[in-house]
Amino acid sequence: MEILLYPAPALRQPSRPVGTPTPEVAETLRQMAAFMREHGGIGLAAPQVGIPLRLLMVNHTGQPADDRAFIDPRVTARRGMEDAEEGCLSFPGIRAVIRRPAWVRVEALSPGGEPVVVEMDGLLARVLQHEIDHLDGILLIDKMSPTERRANVAALRDLEARFTSKA
């Protein structure tokens, strides 16, 4: 696996639903979890590693026992708003204060195909929303205020130049 960096076009593509999970999907999620921990992330969406499926992993502690896999997740309720700093593995070195709902209910499937309903607030709510955005082709840069964009313009241009030089 390799992290796709902004502005890779695949990051902008909405992901396809998985439907009924297969053993291959479960294995992909296991690989994503290991990759996420290896790179110091607390969330990883499949499009970030070039897989156009609605899969994501979250883990706020870095301990394998705290891995949470979500298949075809969707936010079904939200409450409150709060501002907090976010980073993203697809935007290395870039941090921005992003406004998001403070609490969310997310419905999904587990790797075994069982329905999952979680209600989260704080950091985990933020991480889930950030990763679900990735599944919809929405990126950190899309959530930045004009002030945050200006503060990160040099780093964003550097990422764009790195991408262009690789193409």
Active site residues: 131
Measured over the CA atoms of residue 16, residue 52, residue 25 and residue 58, the dihedral's sign is negative
Distance CA 54, CA 133 (A): 10
147 Cβ contact list (under 8 Å, min separation 6):
none
Distance CA 48, CA 13 (A): 11
